[in-house]
Amino acid sequence: MGKMDDISRGTKCLGAWSHTRDQNGDKKHYNGAFPAGFLKWLKEMSWHYGKVCHLCSGTVEDPDSFRVDINPEVKPDLVSDAANTGLPDESFDVTIIDPPYSKELAKNLYDTEKHFKGIDGFTKEASRITKKGGLIVTLSYQVPKRIKNASFIAVWGIYTIPSVGYMRCFTVSRKGAE
């Protein structure tokens, strides 16, 4: 871990849901979608740049990013367990992980409980596919365990208006450049 004082910390309040459109062009939201304004905030904070990969992508709308999800219905670029993608080492500047936050939510929202892993089940793969000096971003209920060869640079609480659940824990770690 870097020096504690150097870690960006705070709470951020965002809109409850980012929206996507169904095939009729009608606005809808995907269960567990990023809060509205989340990606814009990431860019403002310089935590979203270059080649971006979303692990457990859902229906996120992030042009030019690479999306990995186990559910083919969300039409990801790669249908795969995000803990074992087969993607080349060190190919992304930023890897963002937004998995189901509990086994119960995995079952009730996505029918993916047999693939459930806590956030720590995805960080090793995220680190593998992230370039040295790049960022690993997590959103879940917990601070992940420290990622090998990476240091936390930000840990924030994220809540929404209107409230749609518990406050989420957002972290950014930088992969060591050595």
Q: Is the peptide bond before 76 cis (omega within 30 degrees of 0)?
A: no
Q: Is residue 102 at the binding interface for ligand SAM, with CB under 6 A as the rule?
A: no
Q: How far apart are CA 36 and CA 74, in angstroms?
A: 19
Q: Which is nearer to ligand SAM, 31 or 149 (CB)?
A: 31
Task: Please name the residue that has the structure tokens 């803990």.
Answer: 83
Q: Is residue 144 at the binding interface for ligand SAM, with CB under 6 A as the rule?
A: no
For ligand SAM, the binding residue among 48, 69, 126, 170 (CB under 6 A) is: 69
Residue number of the CB closest to ligand SAM reads 58
Q: 130 is written with which tokens?
A: 């992230």
Q: Is residue 87 at the binding interface for ligand SAM, with CB under 6 A as the rule?
A: no
Q: 147 is written with which tokens?
A: 């990622």
For ligand SAM, the binding residue among 14, 42, 53, 82 (CB under 6 A) is: 82
- Per DSSP, the residues of 6-30 read GSEEEEEEEES---EE-TTS-EE--
Q: Which is nearer to ligand SAM, 100 or 134 (CB)?
A: 100
Task: Please name the residue that has the structure tokens 């770690």.
Answer: 173
**Residues in touch with ligand SAM (CB under 6 A):** 18, 30, 32-34, 56-60, 69-71, 74, 81-83, 98-100, 106, 110, 112, 115
